[in-house]
Amino acid sequence: MRTRPFGPLGSHVSALGQGTWNMEYDRRADAVAALRRGLDAGMNHIDTAEMYGSGRVEELVGEAIAGRRDEVFLVSKVLPENASRRGTVAACERSLKRLGVETLDCYLLHWPGSHPLDETIAAFEQLTAEGKIRSWGVSNFDKEELAAALAIAGPRHIACNQVLYHLGERRIEHTVLPFCAEHGIALVAYSPFGSGRFPKARSRGGRALGEIGRERGATPRQVALGFLLQHPSVLAIPKAAQSAHVVENAGAGEIELGTDDIRRIDAAFPRGRRRSGVPIL
């Protein structure tokens, strides 16, 4: 499994991680087993949030990582409505309790909200000083919002920006990804399969992925993940509650696409015109 530098501590994190949104709707035993299978396969980056299942998913993740804390790079998120100075600290403490851990490896603001950003960042720095988090980042931030965060925090404090990025939605390639790369901010691609809208095998894009996959001994989903991971600042966090899916996804951690593969994917899934803002699911 390829790893990527992540955060000011220079941690190395699996380029492919594991999402957990909506896992409260999956069979709990399957979801727990799938997360453990992902750890076995080297997908050590687990992404969750206080929002997911109103805390139930953090509890599920806690069960999955029990006894394996040292293997995991654990990420959770504070809801914008809780992201005041005191609210962020309290939300983090609740997440730690549900997860059954003493420290988060990274703590994110889930999306920009109405609490002043300097308050949220002050809370993140306090949590870091207290050893409750090892790094912090943001999610769903466009270039201007990232620049504002950078102006408050200073360089090399923002570990990542987690944004919507899949073959059908490449807007972040225009400005957000270059900005992140320039400032050493990891870009974490969420919903890398389009959150349940992966291209059908018979669609133009599906055929392109299938052909490339056949040539490379890979599945269409592995090719899709391989495309997202070609940029050295990008990580991706597919969600899978089925162990067979996790195994397939982990297999993408080794794929290296060639320039001709990239050209064919570009043609089937155009980047689209430059637009401001970030797309949000």
Of 75 and 153, which CB lies nearer to ligand NAP in the complex structure?
75
Nearest to 104 by CA among 65, 75, 137: 75
Spatial separation of the C-alpha atoms in residues 80 and 66, rounded to whole Å:
28
Catalytic (active site) residue 165: no
Instruction: Select 237 or 257, whichever has its Cβ closest to ligand NAP.
Output: 237
Nearest residue (CB) to ligand NAP, 21 versus 179:
21
Closest approach of ligand NAP to the CB of residue 233, in Å: 17
- Min separation Cβ 212 and ligand NAP, Å: 16
If the CB atoms of residues 45 and 134 are measured against ligand NAP, the closer one turns out to be 45
Residues 6+ apart with CB under 8 A from 142: 175, 176, 276, 277, 278
Pick 88 or 139: Cβ nearer ligand NAP: 139
DSSP reduced 3-state for 107: strand
Name the residue whose CB lies closest to ligand NAP. Answer: 19
- We find the least distance from the C-beta atom of residue 11 to ligand NAP, in angstroms, to be 19
Rounded to a whole number of angstroms, the minimum distance from the CB of residue 38 to ligand NAP is 11
Phi-psi region of 280 (alpha: psi -120 to 50; beta: other; left: phi over 0): beta
Catalytic residue among 25, 52, 107, 165: 52
Q: CB under 8 Å, gap of 24 or more: what pairs does 22-30 form?
A: 22/52, 22/53, 22/239, 23/52, 23/53, 23/57, 23/60, 23/239, 23/241, 24/52, 24/53, 24/56, 24/57, 24/60, 26/241, 27/241, 28/60, 28/63, 30/241, 30/242, 30/243
Q: How far is the CB of 90 from ligand NAP (least distance, A)?
A: 21
What is the DSSP secondary structure assignment for residue 277, as one 8-state letter?
S
Q: Residues interacting with ligand NAP, by CB under 6 A? A: 19-21, 47, 110, 139-140, 162, 190-196, 221, 237-242, 245, 248-249, 281
Q: Are 212 and 257 in contact (CB under 8 A)?
A: yes
Residues identified as active-site = 52
